[in-house]
A and B are shown apart, each in its own frame.
Chain A
Amino acid sequence: MTDFKLTEAPKIVEPTIYELSSPGRTGVTYPDPDVPRAKLPDELLRKVIPLPELSEVDVIRHFVKLSTFNYSVDSGFYPLGSCTMKYNPKINEDTARLPGFANLHPLQPIETTQGALMLMYQLQEWLKEISGFDAITLQPAAGAHGEFVGVLVMRAYHRDRNDNKRTKMLIPDSAHGTNPATSAMSGLKVVQIPSDERGNVDLEALRAEADDTLVGMMLTNPNTLGLFDENVEEVCRIVHEAGGLMYGDGANMNALLGIAKMADLGFDVMHYNLHKTFSTPHGGGGPGSGPVVVTAELAQFLPAPIVAVVEEEADGLPPLYGLVDPSKTVGRVKAFNGHFGMFVRAFTYIAMHGPDGLRDISEYAVLNANYLLTRLRDAYHVPYDRICMHEFVAEGRWKDAPDIHALDVAKRLMDYGFHPPTNYFPLIVHEALMIEPTETENKGTLDAFVDAMLKIADEAHTSPNLLHEAPTRTPFGRLDEVKAAKELILCCWLPEDYGNQ
């Protein structure tokens, strides 16, 4: 059993930078201008600018102090389901900062950016091979953007055949919330397909909706229950027979690297999340990157431009890389060519691991999740309980502890020094706790997490107040989510009555 040394975090509530301000303090003194001052019109000048006044050292201490309140994958275990918060190797940061990459301008002539284009080309080839698809765009800025691009491509495919009655997108009830949002953004009608008792797509419900108004279906596999859909090939067949296309949400690719190719399973389109599967920074460390891969049939609709070999290697000269536009492109979806720094990081990660290493990643991710599931399933109810992939969903509730909710379990975990798992998602599980350990965690860390979870399950029955009042060992206690959602203060200085609030 892990010996938790529960220490109180310092309850120093750092004042806001406005409260630290004192008139006349200054960090930087500007020299007098060496050109004549321009006179600005009076009506454009504000008499009072409510900016804080502080010295440099005060500013540094304020923000360094705030940064210590932060929790990140560099400071601890972060089992946030469906987000794949894996450790980001620091060598990624070294390569992304190589001056030849970091100092490029996207408008340079292509003759001077061959190294960058070659890296993008090689990354395209690798991402095609890993998924089994024929063509790719690296442009999308993140996962949901990739979904949007994928659905635009699907729509373009149907319109190109003048099949304009197709307006319906099928989405399982275990899907990521971005799937219905993407379809709605694309002007499509969303129809939800229920899951069966094993957590697979309900085939009967699918058949009932598979008609000639189908644009296609968006399926995450493994799904958000962390389960591989056992009927995935049949699902693809039903949708294809109705003339629809299969969209694969690649958010959970961390379970499949080197094991299954989404194109082989029957998918037509898929997006990757480089910031999940390929260890580029995630969340506040972004930006993300959501490349989209498609079958040969859909290649002509991809966003423009795409990196290609424009002159073959010849006479001892290397190939010339350049940018080409697919013939029936849906257009450009991102300024320039996407988040290039993320391409360098993902390229580094793939090159470092190689094909066998990538397969190892998925095998360890799945092994770690099943280890946690096996150790936790007696203390936490797991509604769709079978061998999981890279994540699983447990319930944070007990019949004999009726006042305890998933949120209480999540908050109590913070007292034990862990980032909570995703909670209340997917919606088809009551009081869901969605746990994804990733491959980078060792057995000691997993055991410590299990020990904390078992202790919390025990506390839920013996001393529920510990959970209701949690977290008590963090710099801040439980925040008021209702107030946070309803009373937004979105301005760059404090309202006059702030002191009274």
Chain B
Amino acid sequence: MKFPSNLKYTKSDEWVDLESGKIGLTDYAQDQLSDIVFVEALVEVDDDVEVGGEISSVESVKASAEVYAPAGGKIVAVNEGLADTPEVINSDPFGAGWLVQVEVSSQSDELMDAAAYEKYCAERD
């Protein structure tokens, strides 16, 4: 399982790249969900999103889950391609599987670094 060190993580298994503002679901999350079959973006470009606000809804063959924003700000891009190829979140959660990109103006004060998040995942197993 991957835990890229340049990213920050949440307890609800999102990642955020504070440099680019990209947000997505972690490798652990996609593994727990298994095959993802639907992704619906709940925000549009130019929307303002708050920390903890819902940004996407993801559905797998096992469960559905809401994705909450680890960082707040203006939405500058939404990964539209995921609507047709949601399985990309399974195959490349930290790359092509990104969900939205924000112009970061605030961030959750509970963000973890890669080592802390890896430990948090191990505890839950």
Contact = CB atoms under 8 A, between A and B. Distances in A.
A482 B35 contact: yes
Contacts of B125: 430
Contacts of B87: 482
A424 B35 contact: no
A102 interface: no
A427 interface: yes
Interface in B27-76: 32, 35, 37-38, 59, 61-63
Task: Give the interface size class of chain B.
Answer: 10 to 19
A36 to B, nearest CB: 53
Contacts, number: 17
Interface in B58-104: 59, 61-63, 87
Chain A interface, >50% SS class:
helix
A161 to B, nearest CB: 31
Nearest to A405: B34
A427 B35 CA distance: 16
A427 B63 contact: yes
B35 A481 contact: yes
Contacts of B38: 485-486
B63 A424 contact: yes
A56 to B, nearest CB: 39
B1 to A, nearest CB: 12
Contacts of A481: 35, 61
Contacts of B62: 424
A424 B63 CA distance: 8
B37 to A, nearest CB: 4
A430 B125 CA distance: 8
A481 B35 CA distance: 9
Contacts of B63: 424, 427
B30 to A, nearest CB: 13
B94 to A, nearest CB: 22
Nearest to B62: A424
Contacts of B37: 482, 485-486
Given A481-B61, A485-B37, A486-B38, 11 more contacts: A424-B62, A427-B63, A430-B32, A430-B125, A481-B35, A482-B35, A482-B37, A482-B61, A482-B87, A485-B38, A485-B61
17 contacts: A424-B62, A424-B63, A427-B63, A430-B32, A430-B125, A481-B35, A481-B61, A482-B35, A482-B37, A482-B61, A482-B87, A485-B37, A485-B38, A485-B59, A485-B61, A486-B37, A486-B38
Please list the 8 inter-chain residue pairs (A to B) with the smallest Cβ-Cβ separation, ordered nearest first.
A485-B37, A481-B61, A424-B62, A482-B35, A486-B37, A482-B37, A485-B61, A427-B63
